[in-house]
Structure 1
Amino acid sequence: MQRSLFTADHDAYRKSVRAFLEREVLPHRETWDRAGIVPRQLFRGAAAVGIFDAVPEQYGGAGTTDFRCNTVVLEEAARLDVAPVMAGPTLQSDIVLPYLLDLTDEEQRRRWLPGVATGETVTAVAMTEPGTGSDLTGIRTTARREGDHYIVNGAKTFITNGINADLVVTAVRTGDHPHRGLSLLVVERDMPGFTRGRNLDKVGQHAQDTAELSFADVPVPAANLLGAEGDGFTGLTGNLVRERLSVAVSGLAQARTAFHHTVGHVRTRHAFGAPIGALQHTRFRMAEMDTELDLAQHYLDACVENLNAGTLTAVDAAKAKWFSTELQGRVVDGCVQLHGGYGYMLEHPVARAYADARVSRIYAGSTEVMKEIVGRALELAP
């Protein structure tokens, strides 16, 4: 079915993004996978193609806040099988940058945004801790006010861009209340007591640096507080809507790419004297996947439009996130099955997609948490 989400300007932007990915990312994918990290120059290249253009003009960006542009980047990265490689830059544009746009004061914007706009500054957000995941009320990293500084102690884990990051938006506990006791502090590279652990060895998404972070009496200036003390929970939950939509868009786009690889495979792979696509089971399975992908696509397109209009709810974002990533898992698994033994070989893109896809049902809020959000909105309990 024809999509109506994009304009001619978005189509032109798609061409420039695709050219950038083909020129500066695709040739290095395997090298960066083996290294377990992308070079910082990738962020500068991403800035040059406009991926961080949500930064306002006065700070070096273009002031473009249309999430359809972010959607183009996510879809093109998936189309070229480099979505995990681009996870760092897209996390910066889709997830971290809104914190620096919406919660900062003028002095903070002047200090941080120019570097983000050029890609010289790499950012991360640190919520997950060794003892807590999707439950923000379980955060135990503390920040104690002492004069014009906060003293931060604790640990974070599974932090994307954790090795490369210069600025880390860090969720800390400044009070005892489960919600009003949370605040957001920006921890900067080389602050005393701030250390990074190993780059974690993951099942998939190998080019994405994912690290453990430790804070031992780190003195963070009070000037690095985002918003007011105690507003952290509101800031986090507000931005999770956009984060979950970003994960949903990327997951669906990656599923569609695996599906297209499989269309080509079943047309050319023969068994019992005919292409396996001629088998009724194969046709039915492919028909199911194609239908589900199209149906999910139109829901996500509506979510993108609602996000642009400021009307996307936490419940609708949760629906988008859990359904699209669960669909991604089903589709990619089905594509591996239809590839047979070749689908288990890492030289084939569906095998890489299989390893990369599993975590999408966990990060940005697990499927179970997303269903809980949707279920609570139904007010089924008295």
Structure 2
Amino acid sequence: MNAELRADVEALTDSVRRFALERIAPHVDAWDKAGMVPRELYREAAALGLLGLGYPEDYGGTPAPFALRNAMSVAMARYGASGGAMAALFSHNIGLPPILRHGSRELQKLVVPAVLRGDAIAALAITEPGGGSDVAAIRTRAHRQGDEYVIEGEKTFITSGVRADWITMAVRTGEAKGPSGISMILVPGKAKGLQRSALDKMGWLCSDTGHLRLEGVRVPARYLVGDEGAGFKMIMSNFNGERLAMSAMALGFAQACYDEALDWARQRQAFGSALVEKQAIRHKLVDMRMRIESTKAWLDAVTEMADAGKLESDPDCVAQVCVLKNHATQAMQFCADAAVQILGGMGFMRGTKCERIYREVKVMMIGGGAEEIMKDLAARQWQL
């Protein structure tokens, strides 16, 4: 990382830290109870340029390398300490890329500027009740009727699925089976025949996660993203960026757990001295720090590969992203568990960062590609 980029990373990190400490961390418990973050938060984040980081200037964004985007994710996770708030606020980072890469100029102008201003919410809908990780088994179908597509089917576990104004959806078109029959289409959140219901979850409580039912939903044919049958490649390409971002988030959450545990250990008195003076506690903190440092070094290395243009074209980079995601989320899991243990009874109480992160870690290990899928994909990329 050159000096100019390093300075940009430090400045962005400081800005995100202040935003997270002032506008997210104090309100997360209330948002969790409400089951959502306020719409105003999107506009506030947009005003700071956070929603548009990495997007074209033509649509109100700021082109930025992965080094900056990942630094934002790390800082937001570390100081905001809410996966739910991040999932809600940045769901457009998985919903918009297919439109930007493959959608018509008309679609891009219709959707992207409003989302980057914080005036609209974008989501991605891939998973189905009977499909899970098997993307090629998608059953939701879109039939072409004149100048429209008529969509029938179901989607589940959709981040921002209840409130999204625009949903980039994977559907099956034509008669082809398997991956070659999958297409991507844009569905308005207010489309007639679209029924949405919120799902109850273990964590990410302030991120609405929806179950979608589509019964005769009609959308203009021009809302097709790219060509029919090209959706599977779009989805696989989209996953690479999502997994890298999740690795950065996991690092930030691991750091949040470490920060809270260290602060508690320095202040908490037990048996005549601070907890941090106990060898057993110091060793836990060192074990946490060891995993954090290894994750940070690996994230930096893979980020450099991504900024060199290897994220989609280099099999080794794809494999690295997969196993990095596993390593980062395992580090997050270890640090959350250790922090709860160090805080003891207080770590079991709502209101502590580590309690929230302890509940949220599992979705990080599943979402964007479960550990088992990541290992198998890496093995194929490395030709094992």
Q: TM-score, normalised by structure 2?
A: 0.92
> Per-residue deviation at 1:6?
4.9
Q: Residues of 2 paired with 1:369 and 1:56: CA distance?
A: 32
User: Are the aligned partners of 2:302 and 2:321 in contact in 1 as well (CA < 8 Å)?
Assistant: yes
Name structure 2 gaps, 5 residues minimum.
Answer: 312-316
Q: Give the drift of 1:210.
A: 0.6
Q: CA offsets, 1:278-324, max 9 Å, x none? A: 23222222222211210111111112222222113321111111111
Which of residues 323, 326, 339 in structure 2 aligns to 1:322? 326
Instruction: State, as a whole percentage, how many aligned pairs show the same letter.
Output: 35
Which of 337, 340, 346 is the matching residue for 2:341? 337
Name the CA distance, whole Å, in 2 between partners of 1:16 and 1:189: 32
1:338 Cα offset (Å)? 1.7
How far residue 5 of structure 1 moved from its aligned partner, in angstroms, is 10
Aligned runs of 1:1-382 on 2, under 5 Å? Answer: 6-53=5-52, 54-62=54-62, 64-80=63-79, 81-92=81-92, 94-174=93-173, 175-197=175-197, 199-312=198-311, 313-380=317-384
**How far apart are 1:115 and its partner, in Å?**
0.9
2:85 alignment partner, SS class: coil
Q: What SS is found at the alignment partner of 2:124?
A: strand
Q: Could you tell which deviates more after superposition, 14-23 or 360-369?
A: 14-23
Conserved in 2, the CA contact under 8 Å of 1:137 and 1:179?
yes
Answer whether contact 1:74 1:83 (CA < 8 A) is retained: no
Q: State the Cα distance separating 1:172 from its structure 2 match.
A: 0.6
TM-score, normalization by structure 1: 0.93
Q: Tell me, yes or no, if the aligned pair for 2:319 and 2:381 is still in contact at 8 Å.
A: yes
How many residue pairs get aligned? The number is: 376
Deviations 1:177-225 (A, max 9, x none): 211110000101221111212x211111111111111110111211111
Runs of 5+ consecutive residues of structure 1 not aligned to the other structure: none
- Match for 2:328: what amino acid? S
- Aligned-partner Cα distance in 2 for 1:283–1:28: 31
Say which SS state the counterpart of residue 84 (structure 1) adopts. Answer: helix
Whether the 8 Å CA contact 1:5–1:301 is kept in 2: the answer is: no
CA distance in 1, matches of 2:11, 2:4: 14
Q: Per-residue deviation at 1:32?
A: 1.2
Q: Which amino acid aligns with 2:21?
A: E
Evaluate the alpha carbon distance shift between residue 278 and residue 24 of structure 1 in structure 2; reply closer, same or farther with a 3 A threshold.
closer
Query: What is the CA–CA distance in structure 1 between the aligned matches of 2:67 and 2:91, rounded to whole Å?
Result: 15
**Cα 1:4–1:88, aligned 2, differ >3 Å: closer, same or farther?**
farther
- Counterpart residue identity of residue 56, structure 1: P
Native 8 Å contact 1:160 1:211 kept in 2: yes
- The Cα shift of 1:138 comes to 1.7
- RMSD, aligned CA: 2.0
In 2, the alpha carbon distance for the partners of 1:24 and 1:161 equals 20
